[in-house]
Amino acid sequence: MKTVSLTIDGKEITTYKGEKILWAALDNGIYIPNLCAMRDNAEPEAACRLCFVEIEGKAEPVTACTEEVAEGMVVNTRGEKAVSLVRAGFELLMASHALDCAHCPANGDCELQKIAKHLKASLKTKRFRLLLRELPVDDSNPLFTYDPNKCVLCGRCVRVCRQHKETAILGFAHRGFDRVMTTFGDEPIGSERCLECGECIKVCPTGALSFKDKSKLKG
């Protein structure tokens, strides 16, 4: 396998040709905010727009989950332009988020909390007006609970569910502000077709999908 050497935030890194900047950084202890990326996904959806970084020689920031490393590349995760895009995206996301960490199953193991800490930002946005969706919590599945008010529409659960092909039940419905992760036909998530494999809960970066049995917690 061919290797590539590059610099991220001043740190020299060697990784393999074809690797995305996001994974090269994370594997080397450099955190880049991310919600939608999955390592085994060769064609990332780049849906969350939180992984912006700057590359020397490029005028605009790029998403680290889609950009491949290159020999001699110089990446800056802390550039002003990139950070400002990430902050704006994060605050916009939090403007429709039912924030209640103290009562949330993901508290302490939540990617949103990690991103806020990384950005030295509050989970409560001040820039945008709060616009909550106030959707009903779906408790119909014996294994897990789905709270769409904590969903960030990252698509990770949909992707792992689709690996079951003919038995996949998760998908997205509606557009814009009304976009929601749901089941085909908008049936309760406790549908008989759910295999109860638990994979969707393990990949969910927030408290939107959570095991009822706390001994099966993520991690």
Residues at the contact surface with ligand FES, assessed by CB under 6 A:
34-37, 46-51, 63, 65
3-state SS, residue 110: coil
User: Does position 154 bind ligand SF4 by CB under 6 A?
Assistant: yes
CB 190 within 8 A of CB 141: yes
Q: Dihedral angle at the C-alpha atoms of 10, 15, 16, 20, nearest 10 degrees?
A: -60
What is the C-alpha to C-alpha distance for residues 219 and 161, in angstroms, rounded to an integer? 19
User: Does position 151 bind ligand SF4 by CB under 6 A?
Assistant: yes
Among 55, 181, 189, 194, binds ligand SF4 (CB under 6 A): 181
Nearer to ligand SF4, 119 or 153 (CB): 153
User: Does position 159 bind ligand SF4 by CB under 6 A?
Assistant: no
Among 152, 168, 189, 194, binds ligand SF4 (CB under 6 A): 152
41 binds, among ligand SF4, ligand FES, none (CB under 5 to 8 A by kind): none
Given the rule CB under 6 A, which of 4-12, 72-80, 105-113, 134-142 is the region that contacts ligand SF4? 105-113
Cα radius of gyration rounded to whole Å, the chain = 18
DSSP H or E stretch at residue 211: strand 209-211
101 binds, among ligand SF4, ligand FES, none (CB under 5 to 8 A by kind): ligand SF4
CB of 14 to ligand FES, least distance (A): 22
How far apart, in Å, do the first and last CA atoms of the chain sit?
30
What is the C-alpha to C-alpha distance for residues 124 and 37, in angstroms, rounded to an integer? 24
User: Does position 106 bind ligand SF4 by CB under 6 A?
Assistant: yes
